[in-house]
Amino acid sequence: MGIPEKAYFILNPKSGVKSSVNVPALIEAHLDHSRWKYELLLTEHAGHATQLAQEAAAQGARLVVAVGGDGTVNEVARGLLQTSAALGILPKGSGNGLARHLGIPLVLPQALALLNKPTFGRIDSCAINGHPFFCTAGIGFDGVVSSAFANSTKRGLSSYIQLVVKEFRSYQSQMATVRVNDHELTSDFFVVAFANASQYGNNAYIAPMANIQDGLLDVCLIRHVGLAEALQLGYGLLTKQIAHSNLAEFHTCATVSVHSEQPLHFHADGEFVGLANAFEVQMFPTSLEVVAPADQLI
């Protein structure tokens, strides 16, 4: 039996809909201690998980596990970019976009079992205006909803849907120019979405064909939509049929830029970032090592 390798678990104690779960007890009970010598670290404020992940990697961690939702996963992952430490995930959020895309079990003991016999692989990462993301980023209605969700005290899928409906009633599509693959597309856009992975979370697939290891972004353009079209889009997201919808236009590329007259809301992995008139989205191939089921990795 070899010497146990270092693993750090970074826990957001306020994350997600499973906050009552005793994560330390689960880790102690289900983690293979002959495989991993672990330490549990608690986040104290926004951005803290990135700092903790960077420090863990610098201290020789082989594995750094994000315990939380998409925001915690994003923070931990950005701290591990271009390091020798791999990202593990114990999904404890309401959306769990990256965990779902990678096929990581949503039941925590099963997710821990995956870490006990890990398969390592490398995935792409991206950035929008310098803000890293691993699943999706978006401009327009996506960004407005992420801003409203950030200011809401309620979490979970039902609360998110209520916010979507509320914001849709007053949202107006905005004129923007998207430059992709040396082509310029100018229109009033409802959403401009950038997908590294296939889904936002909660099995809502914005780009069902997206491959997180192909070095390419999948760009989804959705122009002005009314109520009937919005219902059609919602159905398409949940059934993976959006790629076949005449309401969505897809492009693949390594970089893309967007310019608009009015400042537009934008998000990275569901976390509201701010407003801007100009956006640059970049792809960084195989920049993050992860643990995932073997059949999900090249």
Q: Is residue 291 part of a domain?
A: no
Q: What CATH number is attached to the domain comprising 44?
A: 3.40.50.10330
Q: Is residue 123 part of a domain?
A: no
pLDDT at 246: 83
Same domain, 259 and 188: yes
**pTM (two decimals):** 0.92
pLDDT at 161: 76
What is the rounded distance in angstroms from the CA atom of residue 283 to the CA atom of residue 196? 8
| Residue 38 domain boundaries | 5-118
CB 154 within 8 A of CB 243: no
Same domain, 148 and 94: no
Q: Is residue 297 part of a domain?
A: no
**Domain total in the chain:** 2
Q: Is residue 126 part of a domain?
A: no
The two structure tokens encoding residue 90: 């114990």
What is the rounded distance in angstroms from the CA atom of residue 35 to the CA atom of residue 278? 47
pLDDT at 258: 97
Residue-wise pLDDT tens for the chain (298 aa)?
579 999 999 998 876 544 578 999 999 999 999 999 999 999 999 999 999 999 999 999 999 999 999 999 999 999 999 899 999 999 998 889 999 999 999 999 999 999 999 999 999 999 999 999 999 999 999 988 888 777 666 666 677 677 777 777 778 898 999 999 989 999 999 999 999 999 998 888 999 999 999 999 999 999 877 777 777 878 788 888 887 778 899 999 999 999 999 999 999 999 999 999 999 999 999 999 999 999 998 7
Count Cβ neighbours within 10 Å for each residue of 154-182 and write b for 16 or more, e otherwise.
ebeeeebeebbeeebeebebbebebbbee
Residue corresponding to tokens 């997600």: 16
Of the candidates 28, 32, 1, the one whose C-alpha atom is nearest the C-alpha of residue 118 is: 32
